């Protein structure tokens, strides 16, 4: 039986993260999941709204919540930042901030981030049964980033310091998830444009710690993290005189790979750090 849920893609899935969007559209039918894109959704305002204008930081995501509530189903966001802003607006509206800005929101629906939604027990079980190409010996660190997890008062997450669902998913797909201490450390994506020098420090630290854990790749659930770790890799390698090769894969791409989706290579072609050499070496492509 097909499950339906409202889908809030967010702006970058129409732009710099079209590969993530394509992989999501590719794998959800395999899980009998139908994503209904929220009609006329708008930008959540991201970090810039909450940095400069508290009203925008509430009213922009709130409009989406109201639309989603009218659509009548829970809403899922693939972007950690969108998820966080929707949750922050939900908390504010539920504690009475709506009246001040003229927004009526009952809060009858739940806001999910895509990783959490797809790693519910039923999906993990279904996925494990559909694996045709186990991701054997793929040594990966799960990188969750900040905002899907923190702050728990906003995200309602229990295991915000040491989440495990990417690891559970990777294990179900036959990969070898590695433990490391930096899975929720910040990559600084919000400063990537204005202060790339700061990113160099933060991201090179992540590369080094991932390598120290024995990782061959990152697996991410946030397109800001993906862009930041993928797009900066050449620049950071040059700056620090290192020769980093750490592909940054979306968890949805790995689901597609393990389940034998025919378009995986098209999705992966969008990455700047080409994952194909690694996947060929593992006999996965």
Residues that bind other proteins in the complex, under the rule CB under 8 A: 11-12, 14-19, 40-43, 45-57, 59-60, 63, 101, 146-147, 150-154, 160, 185-186, 188-191, 193-195, 198, 201-202, 231, 235, 269-272
Smallest gap from Cβ 84 to other proteins, in A, equals 8
Shorter beta-carbon distance to other proteins: residue 89 or 173: 89
Answer for the pair 170, 177: CB distance below 8 angstroms, yes or no. Answer: yes
DSSP string, the chain: --EEEEE---GGGGTTTHHHHHHHHHHGGGGTEEEEEPTT-----HHHHHHH-HHHHHHHHHHHHHHHHHHTS-EEESSHHHHHHHHHHHHHIIIIIHHHHT------S-EEEHHHHHTSHHHHHHHHHH-SS--TT-EEEEE--STTTS-HHHH--S-SSS--HHHHHHHHTT-EEE--TTTT----GGGTTT-HHHHHHHHHHHHHHHHHTT-SEEEES-HHHHHHHHHTHHHHHHHHT------EEEHHHHHHHHTT-TTHHHHHTT-SS--HHHHHHTT--
Shorter beta-carbon distance to other proteins: residue 22 or 166: 22
> What CA–CA distance (Å, rounded) separates 32 from 122?
12
Smallest gap from Cβ 37 to other proteins, in A, equals 13
Shorter beta-carbon distance to other proteins: residue 19 or 167: 19
Smallest gap from Cβ 152 to other proteins, in A, equals 6
Shorter beta-carbon distance to other proteins: residue 123 or 244: 244
Smallest gap from Cβ 248 to other proteins, in A, equals 13
Smallest gap from Cβ 59 to other proteins, in A, equals 4
Smallest gap from Cβ 271 to other proteins, in A, equals 8
Shorter beta-carbon distance to other proteins: residue 108 or 193: 193
Smallest gap from Cβ 128 to other proteins, in A, equals 31
Shorter beta-carbon distance to other proteins: residue 101 or 137: 101
Shorter beta-carbon distance to other proteins: residue 70 or 125: 70
> What CA–CA distance (Å, rounded) separates 60 from 66?
11
């Amino acid at each position: 039986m097909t499950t339906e849920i409202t889908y809030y893609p967010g702006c970058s899935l129409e732009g710099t993260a079209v590969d993530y969007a394509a992989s999501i559209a590719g794998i959800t039918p395999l899980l009998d999941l139908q994503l209904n894109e929220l009609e006329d959704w708008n930008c959540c305002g991201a970090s810039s709204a909450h940095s400069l204008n508290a009203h925008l930081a509430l009213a922009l995501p709130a409009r989406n919540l109201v639309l989603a509530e009218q659509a009548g189903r829970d809403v899922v966001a693939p972007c950690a930042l969108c998820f966080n802003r929707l949750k922050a607006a939900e908390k504010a509206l539920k504690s009475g901030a709506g009246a001040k800005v003229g927004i009526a929101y009952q809060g009858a629906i739940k806001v999910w981030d895509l990783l959490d939604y797809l790693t519910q027990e039923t999906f993990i079980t279904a996925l494990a049964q559909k694996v045709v190409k186990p991701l054997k010996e793929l040594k990966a660190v799960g990188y969750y980033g900040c905002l899907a997890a923190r702050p728990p008062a906003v995200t309602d997450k229990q295991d915000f310091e040491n989440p495990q669902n990417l690891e559970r998913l990777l294990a179900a797909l036959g990969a070898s998830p590695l433990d490391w201490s930096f899975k929720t450390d910040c990559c600084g994506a919000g400063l990537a444009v204005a202060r790339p020098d700061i990113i160099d420090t933060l991201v090179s630290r992540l590369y080094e710690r991932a390598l120290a854990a024995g990782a061959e790749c990152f697996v991410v659930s946030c397109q800001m993290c993906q862009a930041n770790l993928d797009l900066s890799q050449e620049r950071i390698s040059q700056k620090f005189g290192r020769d980093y090769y750490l592909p940054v894969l979306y968890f949805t791409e790995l689901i597609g790979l393990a389940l034998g989706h025919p378009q995986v290579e098209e999705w992966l072609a969008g990455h700047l750090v080409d994952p194909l050499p690694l996947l060929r070496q593992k006999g996965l492509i």
